[in-house]
Structure 1
C-alpha cells in the first residue's frame, strides 16, 4: 500500500545553511522505546559529507549538518512544528540579566564525549572563542590562502595568526560577547555578558552548529596526550589570550575535522550526540552507530543508520524501490513524482520546503579577470537574462502544480507576514520576465569587454544542470558568454576567491531566528559568499540584532529586502518543492521544513515488525 500526503504551508524561517535538498513538515510522533540491538536502516542524501565542523565557512552545509546534528549534542534544537526545544538532558541555560544581557550555560554533570571525557567549560569556552572571534589576530585576511580548487585553506596559511573561520562579526551572535566569559568553580558553567542586547541569544549554542570536543582540538594542536591536561591548556590559552597557543588551536578547529573518508585517527570522530560516525567510504556512505556513552533524552532506537550519497534523484527512487535504502528526500522533479507513484509499500509526503533556489553574483574576487560583477550595470543586465519564470514553469510546476510560484524576496518566505508588502516595494518585479533588449543596452553601457560568466553549481544534480542550461542559453542572447564552473564539490568552493563569477544553489533554513539569515548579507558574515557589502544593510542588520518588537523587525527586513534588490545582489527563483519517501519497514519519519530536515528526530526512528533487515 502507498500513502501520499501533501502540505504547502510555510512559516518564516531564519538561519541559512547551504542546501542540496529540501524538507517538509509534520508532527512529532516519536517515542522512546529503546535501542534495538542489531537494528539498521539506510537513508539517502544527495551530497556527500565533508566536514564535522559546520561552524566554518567551508563546512556550513546541510550535507554536513544532517550528520553533525546526530553526532554533536547541544542545548536546544527545533522540532518539526517547528518550535525550539530545550535539551535539558544535555544542560541548561539561564537569562541572568537583561541589562546588560547576561546568559549562563551549564552542562549536566554526567554528560560525556564518546571517549568518556566529561563535557564541560573547556568545550563551551572553545565554542565561544571560535564563534566570537574575540581573540583573533586583528585585520588578518585569509583570502590569499584559500585554494580556488577546493575551497580549503592552503599549506601556506600563516602559522602565527589566530583566525577562527566562523564568520563571526562584532555586531551579532557571540560576536557581541567580546569579554572572556567567566567559568564557575565546578568547571561546568560559563557566564557570558553581551556588549548589547541580542534578540536571538537562545540560538548561540544550538544543536545545529554544535560544540566540538575541546580536548581533541587541544591534543592535536598543542601535542598533549592527556585529555584533562589538554583541556586545561586550552582554557589557559583562552583566558590569557595566548596567541602562540591559540594560533594552532584555531588552525586545527578550522580544518582538523574536514575529511571525505573515515579518518585514520579515530579521535576525530569523537561524538557527544546519540550517534557517532563508525564508517565512511568516500563518495558512497557514512555509517552512524548508537553512541554507548550518550545519556541524554534523545537516545537512539535503531543501532545503525547508514546514509548513502545518491546525487541523482531517480537513482535514489530506484534504490528505494529495490530495498537498498529505506528513506529518501531527493530534489523533486516531475519524473520523481511519477516514479514514486509506481512503487508500492512506501509513504510519500510532498509540499513546499524551507529551501529556496537563487543565483548570487560575485561582487568581488570573481573568476573573470575584469571582475565583471563589480559593475552594477552588468549585474543588472545579467539578472534581466535569468529565465526565472521558465525555470518555474518547466521544472517546478510539473511537480506541485500551481503552488509553484516565483519567490520574489531575499528575506521573506512566500506567504509569511510581510512578504506581500516587501515584494510590492522591492524591484523584484523588474525580473519577473526576461528582458534581453534591456540587458543588451546595459551591457553596452557598462564598457565591459570580457563578458564571460562562469557559474558554480552542483554538476551531479540533474535539476541544476537543467537550470544552468536555461540560464546559459538566455544570457547568450544578450551577449554574455556563460561558462561551466559546475562541480560535484560545489559546496566547499562557495565563497572561494577566483573560483567562479556567479553561483546557483539553495539556502536551507535552520531556525526561526530573525537574525540568523543576516550573515548572508552582512559584510564579512559567514554566509556572505559573494563579498557583498553595503553600509545601509549593515546598519539595518545591527538594528535587527537588538530589535525585539516583531512589527519593527518586519519593517527593517522590508527595507533591507528593497536595498538588496536595488544593489542587484542576485535573484531568488523558487521555494523548493520537496518530497520525502520511505518504506513501510520504518516508522516515525516526520520531516521538518528546517535543517536537518528528515534527520531532526532520527533517534525516534524505528524498524517495523513487518520489515526485514538488509
Structure 2
C-alpha cells in the first residue's frame, strides 16, 4: 500500500488536487524599494517540494505560493480564475478527454532556465503510481521526513494523484517544448484544479539526481526517464525527489530552492525566520508592491501577538483564544477580524498498526475491532470541547458533523441529517461499556493518542478526551509531540488529533483522505464501497447526485467508526494598521492569497526588528 505522512502544525493541507493560486491584481504594480513585511506563522518551512508527504503541509504551501506561478487560482470570492499571464489550458477533446496546457514564452526559473514541458512532465510522472516498483510497505521513513526504499534500485515517488493516475500514456509535447496534452482514460470532474507545473525544477532534479549540469540535457533526461520507463534513472530521480528538497535552513545548493514566481528565498535561519525577496525577472503576473517578505516562526499564539505589538511582525493568523483576543483588544494601531476558518478539528483512528482498533489484534476479527472503535468514539466529549474551548471564542459555535462538507454549504444540513453522525452527538459511557463487553475485550485498553503537545488548545482537548474515555475503560496514553506531523502514518499511535484545511471547493478534495492507500489516509482505512463512490464522484457533474454520493460515503465511514469531527476552527487575523491590503480566504493559502495587494501606508513605514540581517545574495 502507499503510505503517506504529512507534517504541519495548526492545519494540514488536504492533498488530492493541491491548487495554490497564482497572481492577480492591479496592472502595473511596481516594487517599492526597501519595503518589507514580516509575517508571523506557527511552524517552520521544511520543503520546496509539496508533492511529497513531508512537503504537503500548509506551512510549505504558503512559501511556495509566493515562489511559484499557476494556471489558475481562487480569488477572494472563492471563484476559480485563470492566470493567463503564466499560461493557458483548454479541453481539446471530449471523447477521449484531453486537455492541453501551454506555458507562455518568457516564463523562467530564477536561474534563468525556461519553465516548460519538462516541468509539466515531472508533475505528471511523479504523481503517477505506474512508475513505482515498490509500495509504501517497502519504504523507511526517517524522523526528519526522509524517505528511503529498502531496495536502493527501487522506484518510489512519495506522491500520488488520482487524477494523474488516469493519464496512463506519456503526454504529447508541443509548441517548441512549452506545452503538453494530457489524455485521460476517463473524464475527471475536478480536472481543472488537478494539474500544474512542478514546484521543483526538472533540470535541478536532474543535476542533483543524475549529475547533469546542462539544463537542456537535464530536462531531456527527465522526460526520457518517464517516456521510456527507465527504472535505473527513475530510481535515482525518485530518491532525490523525495529527499533533496527538504531543508530547515538555507541550503548551499541553489537548485533546491529555485523559484518561478514573484519571490525568491534569500535567507533562512533554522527555527527562526525565512526571507523572500522580489524576483526581479518576474513579469508573468502582476508584481507585488513589497520588496521582501519575512516569515517568523513561533508556535505560541500569545508570543505572536506580542511580536505584533512590538513591531517585530506586521501580520499574524494565530490560533484563537480568549487571551489572544483580549490582548489584541488592548493594542493601539492594530486591526483584527474573527470568523470561522476553512480548517476543522478531527480525531482519526488507526486500522493497521496492531493496536486496539486493528482487526489483526483480534485474530482478524473485523467486527470485534469495530466494536472497540465505536466504544472509543462514544466517549469523545465533543459538546464539552465546544462549550469549554470554542464557545468563548465563538458563542455560536457548533460541532462539525460532516467529513467532507463545510458547515453553511448548501447541502450540509442534508448530509448531516443522513450520514449517521448522530451516533457521536453525545457522550455515552454506558453504551461504550456495553460495546466493550459485547466485544469481550479486557479493560483497561491502552490507546496511544497523538497531538501537538505544545498546542495549548489541543493539550486541553486531550485532557478532556482522556478523562472521558477513562470512564469506559480506556487508558488514553499521552503521545503528544511537537513533531507530531512527521509521525502521521508511521503506526506509533492509535488515535490522532489534528486539522484538515481544504485547497479547493470540489468534494473530491477529500478523496485522498479516505480512499484505500490515499495520500492522506494515515490510519489505513479501506472500504471498497467508499472507493467506488469516490470513483463515481470523479466523473459526476450533477449536484444532487454528488450529495447522494457524499451521504453514502459518510454513512459508511460512520458505520465503520472511522473517527469523528469536532469543530470548525475559530479564526483570527491581525495586522498593523500601516500594512494595507490584508485579506484572507477559507482555502490554503489563507492570508497569503493576495500578497500582491500588500502595501505600506504612504504616511508611515513598517519598522522591522533590528536584529534582521540583510538578505543573503540571491
TM-score, L = length of structure 2 = 0.91
Shift of 1:261: 1.6
2:349 aligned with 1:361:
yes
Aligned partner (choices 576, 579, 590) of residue 583 of structure 2: 590
Task: Give the match for residue 377 of structure 1.
Answer: 371
Aligned partner (choices 498, 511, 515) of residue 508 of structure 2: 515
Aligned partner (choices 286, 296, 313) of residue 298 of structure 1: 286
Shift of 1:465: 1.1
Instruction: Describe the shift of the 1:32–1:341 C-alpha distance in structure 2 as closer, same or farther (beyond 3 A).
Output: farther
Rounded to whole Å, the distance in 1 between the matches of 2:216 and 2:230 is: 19
Q: Is the 8 A contact 1:114 1:292 kept in 2?
A: no
Rounded to whole Å, the distance in 2 between the matches of 1:251 and 1:489 is: 23
Q: Is the 8 A contact 1:100 1:193 kept in 2?
A: yes
Shift of 1:148: 6.5
Shift of 1:331: 0.9
Task: Give the match for residue 601 of structure 2.
Answer: 608
In the TM superposition, what are the counterparts of 1:291-440 in structure 2 within 5 Å? 291-365=279-353, 375-402=369-396, 404-440=397-433
Rounded to whole Å, the distance in 2 between the matches of 1:492 and 1:248 is: 24
Task: Give the match for residue 194 of structure 2.
Answer: 204
Task: Give the match for residue 233 of structure 1.
Answer: 221
Task: Give the match for residue 47 of structure 1.
Answer: 43
Deviation string, structure 1 residues 387-444 (Cα, Å, up to 9, x no partner) = 1011111111001112x10001111111212211221122211211111111122223
Shift of 1:32: 5.0
Rounded to whole Å, the distance in 2 between the matches of 1:359 and 1:148 is: 24
Task: Give the match for residue 189 of structure 1.
Answer: 179
2:476 aligned with 1:482:
yes
2:158 aligned with 1:165:
yes
Rounded to whole Å, the distance in 2 between the matches of 1:436 and 1:179 is: 54
Rounded to whole Å, the distance in 2 between the matches of 1:33 and 1:400 is: 38
Shift of 1:17: 9.9
Q: Is the 8 A contact 2:67 2:264 kept in 1?
A: yes
Q: Is the 8 A contact 1:332 1:579 kept in 2?
A: yes
Task: Give the match for residue 458 of structure 1.
Answer: 452
Q: Is the 8 A contact 1:376 1:568 kept in 2?
A: yes
2:91 aligned with 1:95:
yes
Q: Is the 8 A contact 2:349 2:357 kept in 1?
A: no
Instruction: Describe the shift of the 1:198–1:494 C-alpha distance in structure 2 as closer, same or farther (beyond 3 A).
Output: same
Bigger drift between 105-114 and 603-612 goes to 603-612
> Secondary structure of 1:510's partner?
coil
Deviation string, structure 1 residues 202-236 (Cα, Å, up to 9, x no partner) = 112258xx532100011111111111111111111
Shift of 1:291: 1.5
Task: Give the match for residue 496 of structure 2.
Answer: 503
Relative contact order, higher structure (CA 8 A, sep 6+): 1
> Secondary structure of 2:593's partner?
helix
Rounded to whole Å, the distance in 2 between the matches of 1:68 and 1:281 is: 17
Task: Give the match for residue 142 of structure 1.
Answer: 136
Rounded to whole Å, the distance in 2 between the matches of 1:572 and 1:369 is: 18
Q: Is the 8 A contact 2:68 2:261 kept in 1?
A: yes
Rounded to whole Å, the distance in 2 between the matches of 1:173 and 1:315 is: 41
2:28 aligned with 1:38:
no
TM-score, L = length of structure 1 = 0.91
Aligned partner (choices 206, 211, 227) of residue 218 of structure 1: 206
2:519 aligned with 1:544:
no
> Secondary structure of 1:517's partner?
helix
Q: Is the 8 A contact 1:77 1:206 kept in 2?
A: no
> Secondary structure of 1:515's partner?
helix
In the TM superposition, what are the counterparts of 1:515-594 in structure 2 within 5 Å? 515-594=508-587
Structure 1: 5+ residue stretches without partners: 1-15
Structure 2: 5+ residue stretches without partners: 1-5, 14-23, 609-618
Shift of 1:29: 8.0
Q: Is the 8 A contact 2:7 2:485 kept in 1?
A: no
> Secondary structure of 1:401's partner?
coil
Q: What RMSD in Å do the two structures reach over aligned CA positions?
A: 2.1
Instruction: Describe the shift of the 1:230–1:151 C-alpha distance in structure 2 as closer, same or farther (beyond 3 A).
Output: closer
> Secondary structure of 2:336's partner?
strand
